Structure 1
Amino acid sequence: MAEASAEVFPAAEQVAPRKRLDNTELVVPICYGTVAFWLGKKADEYHSHRWTVYVRSPSGEELNHIISKVVFKLHDSFMNPIRVVEAAPYELTETGWGEFEISITMHFTEDSGEKPIEIFHPLKLYEDAGSSIDRQSTKKPVVTEDYDELVFSEPVQDFYERVVNVKPAPAPSSELTQHLPVHNDAEELAKIKAARRSLAEQIAESRLQLELGEAT
């Protein structure tokens, strides 16, 4: 998993320190990935696929009580490669012909007291060699998705209480939903234990950098 963004935001002057909860974790499951459709007869040399990169909740709930915006960094060949999505669904759709790694930076709500976290996900347009799908289809997309957890260690008290005491609304409808994986909690728990440590370390490191910035 990629390290957290090194950017340090200027601290506001004379801001009282936020109270954090010792020996407490706030765990938020997330999914992020890409869905790519072959354009078929509409394809040309530079636009063979229509694809979408996204961040979502695996339970179909909104994430805007945690995430304030998502910044997607595309390949530099795209016009305006840095795209900002400030409301759910956190999706970005483009067309193109090549595969590349997409940077996904999640910014959290102001009351979280946390710095943004940057992760990476490869855009995949084609099935792997030897796949049971032997040809491209305009109706069946290529889907790659990671299930992960945001782990907030010693979260800000106000943020923690707000999140645990408010049931998120259902996420806005998306045409992608029918193509996305359904996750089994037991299987995913086994997969994410190692990744969870990584994200927890990123958030802890980001918080330390933020605190150091506020102290200067």
Structure 2
Amino acid sequence: MPVAPGNKRVKGVSVYRPFVYGSEAQPFDPANRPPNAPPDHTHQWRVYVKGVNDEDISYWLKKVQFKLHETYAQSVRTIEQPPFEVTETGWGEFEIQIKLYFVPESTEKPQTIWHSLKLHPYGNDIEGKRERREKVISQNYDEVIFNEPVEQFYDLLTGGGQQQQQSKGKGAKKSTTTGGGGAHTAEIPLHDSPGNPYSRATESAELDRISEALKNVEQMIKNERAKLAEKEKRLAELRATEGVPPPTKKK
């Protein structure tokens, strides 16, 4: 059966689009408490889905559904245009279900992720952060991968154009950004900034840290093996002096 127009897929191509999701929370200023906040609420918070560098992602993301704790009125909030976020007040931490709905051209099913809302400081200097009423940021980097997207969506993802068409085919396995002016990009910035900790420099530093940790683990294993060999040698010497035959290996 022939493929319906608009449903033909770009074979051998995977297109990824990075994004971040998370929350920001801050305790109320006693002198400037929100007038409509319930008496038992202590914080104002915001949960969001956005581009890595605050770039527009609505060309592939149609809407976002946030499922809050059931104690909230209208606990399911659907945001159909940027910014994809919900701002609320509260007193407790809970898991938020986030469902990503892609644009109709994608023909892709929604994807669900989860985020743990954090209201209280964590890490170093917790007491100091609490006294200064610092904003608590809990954020995650993620990527959505569209495997063999339909042609119409592929052109939408990449911005279209002749140079994009040339990247189709068996040789193209993963597309990040292609073409010249007007093309949509998925490139992560070279350097981080105060509002964006995700960059090529950060990635490189993390890879170096992991590589160094692996070297340390390999050296620890080597040292432990040397210690074990020395103990086995010493045990064999003791057996020999006591006239105890060495253990035989089972067949």
Residue 134 (structure 2) pairs with residue 140 (structure 1): yes
Offset at residue 167 of structure 1 (A): 4.2
Distance of 1:66 and 1:124 partners within structure 2: 28
Residue 126 of structure 1 pairs with residue 141 of structure 2: no
1:63/1:168 contact within 8 Å kept:
no
1:20 maps to which residue?
Answer: 9
The answer (yes or no) to whether the contact 2:53–2:196 under 8 Å persists in 1 is no
Q: Which amino acid is the alignment partner of residue 182 of structure 1?
A: P
* Structure 1 segments of 4+ aligned residues over 3 angstroms from their partners: 129-133, 166-169, 178-181, 186-191
Q: How far apart in 2 are the matches of 1:131 and 1:141?
A: 13
Q: Deviations over 1:12-35 (max 9, x none)?
A: xxx657011111011101000000
Q: Does 1:55 align with 2:49?
A: yes
Could you tell me how far apart the structure 2 residues matched to 1:47 and 1:152 are?
41
SS at match of 1:28: strand
Structure 2 residue ranges without an equivalent (≥5): 160-181, 186-192, 208-251
Q: Distance in 2 between matches of 1:48 and 1:156?
A: 47
Counterpart of 1:152 in structure 2 is: 146
Q: How does 1:61-72 map to 2 (within 5 A)?
A: 61-72=55-66
CA RMSD of aligned residues (A): 2.8
Go from structure 1 to structure 2 and tell me whether the alpha carbon gap of 1:137 and 1:105 turns closer, same or farther (over 3 Å shift): farther
- Following superposition of structure 1 onto structure 2, how do residues 51-200 of structure 1 map, counting pairs within 5 Å? 51-128=45-122, 130-131=124-125, 134-136=128-130, 140-165=134-159, 166-167=182-183, 180-188=195-203
CA gap of 1:73–1:44, structure 2 versus 1, over 3 A, is closer
- Cα deviation 1:97-119 (Å, max 9, x = unaligned): 00001011010000001010000
Percent sequence identity over matched residues? 34
Contact 2:48 2:86 in 1 (8 A): yes
Distance (Å, rounded) in 2 between the aligned partners of 1:179 and 1:72: 26
Unaligned runs of 5+ in 1: 1-14, 170-177, 192-216
Query: For residue 5 of structure 1, what is the aligned residue in structure 2?
Result: none
Output the CA distance in 2 between the equivalents of 1:137 and 1:161. 51
Aligned residue-pair number:
170
Residue 40 (structure 1) aligned with residue 29 (structure 2): yes
What is the TM-score with the length of structure 1 in the denominator?
Answer: 0.70
TM-score (norm: length of structure 2): 0.61
Larger radius of gyration: 2
Q: Give the Cα–Cα distance (whole angstroms) in 2 for the partners of residues 149 and 137 of structure 1.
A: 36
8 Å CA contact 1:35, 1:142 repeated in 2: yes
Aligned-partner Cα distance in 2 for 1:188–1:148: 13
Greater helix proportion: 2
Q: Secondary structure at the match of 2:130?
A: coil
